[in-house]
């Protein structure tokens, strides 16, 4: 069970992986499609920065719904820097351990801060996987982090119902040999193109 595990170190590990993916994304792949059919690689990078900003606003006691879905205005070669800046600002807000047990506002209601961090950690890994697949990079994050998040999401996100107010597609059957990051993405309804 993960309800008493501190998700913050896992979140930092996931964001380090995403920064490395951003560094490894060639400019000519920014318009490539991603497993998120509404977004190309450029939009996905902007969304990843936005999710870290949302995690900061939540930790500050604000309403993340007032934040953009996609950060814009970042130079094509500056995504890693934008992620790093957003992460530093977010991490500073969550240094106080008491924030993990305080109620915070998230798009799906009010939850303890710990649950909010788990949610945004999951989003980071799933969209990091999307980014890795779209840019032909290694699609597996730190296995311990991915396994912990997969266990958490399987506990809090049931396989049914999905869609409507639950903004996840139906789970996808993992391909043989899929690692924990891919299995997490599959649980959250993401699949490789053509799968």
pLDDT digit string (tens) for 161-194?
877 766 788 999 999 999 999 999 999 999 998 6
The domain ranges of the chain are 8-141
CA distance 3 to 61: 21
Would you place residue 159 in the very low, low, confident or very high pLDDT band (cuts 50, 70, 90)? confident
Would you state the structure tokens that stand for residue 83, as one six-digit string? 């992620």
Q: Are 2 and 155 in contact (CB under 8 A)?
A: yes
Indicate left, alpha or beta for 115 from its phi (over 0: left) and psi (-120 to 50: alpha). alpha
Fold of 8-141: 1.20.120
For the whole model, what pTM was predicted? 0.94
How far, in Å, are 96, 172, 179 from residue 11 at the CA level?
Answer: 15, 24, 18
Q: Residue 143 pLDDT > 50, yes or no?
A: yes
CA distance 83 to 93: 16
- Residue 165: what pLDDT? 67
Radius of gyration of the chain (CA): 16
Would you state the structure tokens that stand for residue 21, as one six-digit string? 């993916």
Q: Residue 2 pLDDT > 60, yes or no?
A: no
């Amino acid at each position: 069970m993960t309800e008493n595990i501190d998700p913050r170190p896992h979140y930092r590990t996931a964001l380090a992986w995403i920064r490395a993916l951003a560094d490894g994304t060639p400019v000519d792949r920014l318009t490539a499609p991603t497993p998120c059919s509404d977004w190309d690689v450029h939009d996905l990078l902007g969304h990843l920065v936005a999710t870290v900003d949302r995690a900061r606003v939540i930790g500050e006691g604000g309403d993340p719904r007032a934040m953009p879905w996609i950060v814009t205005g970042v130079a094509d070669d500056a995504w890693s820097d934008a992620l790093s800046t957003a992460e530093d600002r977010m991490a500073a807000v969550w240094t106080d351990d008491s924030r993990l047990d305080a109620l915070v506002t998230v798009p799906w209601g009010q939850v303890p801060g710990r649950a909010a961090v788990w949610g945004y950690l999951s989003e980071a890994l799933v969209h990091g996987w999307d980014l890795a697949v779209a840019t032909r990079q290694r699609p597996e994050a730190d296995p311990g982090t991915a396994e912990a998040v997969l266990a958490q999401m399987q506990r809090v996100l049931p396989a049914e119902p999905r869609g409507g107010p639950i903004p996840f597609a139906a789970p996808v059957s993992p391909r043989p040999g899929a690692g924990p990051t891919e299995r997490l993405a599959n649980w959250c309804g993401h699949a490789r193109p053509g799968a």
